Structure 1
Amino acid sequence: MTTDLAPYIQHTLIDIGTDAEEMARHWGQAVEYGFDAAMVAAIWVPDARAALAGTGVKVASALDFPFGATTTEGKVAEARALARAGVDEIDIGVHIGYLRSGRYREYRDDIAAVVRAVDVPIKVMLELPRLSERERDVAVDLAVEAGVAWVKNASSGAAGVATPADIAYLRARVPAGIRVKASGGITSAGQVRELLDAGADLVGTSAGLSIIGVESRPGVSY
């Protein structure tokens, strides 16, 4: 097993229809193998918080995912609900339509409203594969202005596979103190090592078990 990588992985399970037993297995795996966090859908945050209290494993969740089309008011309300439920980190979608329309203030203020609403680190999912070079620069700079704690190349593999080039770009673009998370199509230990070498602080993936060399064991409760 390559469990040395586990502390850099946010172990992700955000699937429609996942039941309570599967979710309990998921955060049990996060504890057993030492993953940085269990990334779960919003409805499972209270259960994850209760199960992971005192383990050192964080509870992370995402909002305005995968479309980035929720109103600012909706984002703020959900972020506050997640904070009350005990979430440790929140990954948020962004309004790419605003960015492409040149409505930069609205793009920035949408993110900033969530940052102000909760005392929880916010990771902004920038969807770099869908942006032009100019749009990338603007998106990153506006996220920094909005006060995010983290920048993230993409929300998932649906947006594009994480590349060392994208992570190196983010690391060079943001000031010291802002952290970088890689996400999207990460399925091997080699990819994880390349992304960490490029400047990622963490990676998010649903393939954490196979990456560290553990066979999934359906039906086994952790």
Structure 2
Amino acid sequence: MSPTASMTPEQVDQLDATELAALIDHTLLGPTASAQDIDTLCEQAQSYGTASVCIQPIWVERAATRLASSPVKVCTVIGFPSGAQTPETKAYETSQAIQHGADEVDMVIDQAAALANDKATLVRDIGAVVEAAAGHDVVVKVILETAALTDQAKIIACEAAVEAGAHYVKTSTGFGPGGATVADVALLRSTVGDGVGVKASGGIRTRQDAIDMLKAGATRLGASATYAIVS
């Protein structure tokens, strides 16, 4: 199955703990996280078998070193958490993160452009990151911050992400006015189709939360409560 194509409800129900863990970006984005916290996160991710660790850019090199012999990927965030940086700044952040060992980047969009229905600006915004990641086999996920947007703005942002060549759209930063909802995941999935992945993040704390998001069309989950989800 394509990593971007959603599963049927029956397939989701059949996921065991190992298979569920492999869909999670084990996340620690708090600005006061310490080096020891990052080391612990990497150890946990390897133990659980998660898709990645998702961390702030300052920790990418450390995590990449810790995970060098592991299948767990290193994911970091770009333009985080507001998205109110220039495309050039986001492109530079992306290039630097890749140099330090990032395998995946989750970039925050220009939310004002989405609310203004300005797709051209969004395509430039997202495209700058996609272009910076091109040729490096780096996955680009596009954070919409759905709780701050109208449904029309979410659709415009999804369309821009597809047009710009992003690999995933993502619901939330975890630092905005709300997290993932089943309705938003379903809207994102119906807009992007099966050629682009959907990452649900923000407020996913239990196995049932995870199952609900996957049944709505998510193909990746962002969570800090990974242990509670997979145990």
Q: What TM-score do you get using the length of structure 2 for normalisation? A: 0.87
- Deviation of the 1:206 alpha carbon: 1.1
- Deviation of the 1:177 alpha carbon: 2.0
Number of the residue aligned with 1:168 = 186
Q: Which amino acid aligns with 1:164?
A: V
For the pair 1:111 / 2:126, whether they are aligned, the reply is yes
Structure 2: distance between partners of 1:193 and 1:150: 19
2:76 to 61, 67, 81: 61
Q: 132-141 vs 74-83, which deviates more?
A: 132-141
- Deviation of the 1:27 alpha carbon: 0.4
For the pair 1:86 / 2:104, whether they are aligned, the reply is no
Number of the residue aligned with 1:220 = none
Structure 1: distance between partners of 2:157 and 2:213: 21
Structure 1: distance between partners of 2:17 and 2:113: 42
1:73 to 71, 81, 88: 88
Number of the residue aligned with 2:20 = 5
Number of the residue aligned with 1:150 = 168
Structure 1: distance between partners of 2:87 and 2:141: 16
- Deviation of the 1:89 alpha carbon: 0.5
- Deviation of the 1:159 alpha carbon: 3.5
For the pair 1:187 / 2:205, whether they are aligned, the reply is yes
Consecutive unaligned residues of structure 1, counting only runs of 5 or more, are: 214-222
For the pair 1:139 / 2:160, whether they are aligned, the reply is no
Q: What TM-score do you get using the length of structure 1 for normalisation? A: 0.90
Does the C-alpha gap of structure 1 residues 107 and 185 become closer, same or farther in structure 2, counting only changes over 3 Å?
A: same
Task: Provide, for residues 114-137 of structure 1, a one-character-per-residue CA deviation record: whole Å limited to 9, x for no partner.
Answer: 101113211000122222222222
Task: Work out whether residues 159 and 184 of structure 1, in 8 Å CA contact, stay in contact via their aligned partners in 2.
Answer: no
Q: Which amino acid aligns with 1:173?
A: T
Structure 2: distance between partners of 1:72 and 1:161: 25
Task: Work out whether residues 157 and 183 of structure 1, in 8 Å CA contact, stay in contact via their aligned partners in 2.
Answer: no
Aligned residue pair count: 213
Query: What percentage of aligned pairs have identical amino acids?
Result: 37
Task: Work out whether residues 148 and 176 of structure 2, in 8 Å CA contact, stay in contact via their aligned partners in 1.
Answer: no
Structure 2: distance between partners of 1:25 and 1:132: 38
Task: Provide, for residues 96-149 of structure 1, a one-character-per-residue CA deviation record: whole Å limited to 9, x for no partner.
Answer: 112223433112111111101113211000122222222222111111111111
Task: Work out whether residues 155 and 188 of structure 2, in 8 Å CA contact, stay in contact via their aligned partners in 1.
Answer: no
Q: 36-45 vs 99-108, which deviates more?
A: 99-108
- Deviation of the 1:4 alpha carbon: 4.3
Structure 2: distance between partners of 1:151 and 1:114: 13
Number of the residue aligned with 1:97 = 112
Q: Which amino acid aligns with 2:167?
A: A
Structure 2: distance between partners of 1:180 and 1:89: 14
- Deviation of the 1:176 alpha carbon: 2.5
Task: Work out whether residues 51 and 73 of structure 2, in 8 Å CA contact, stay in contact via their aligned partners in 1.
Answer: yes
Task: Work out whether residues 171 and 180 of structure 2, in 8 Å CA contact, stay in contact via their aligned partners in 1.
Answer: yes
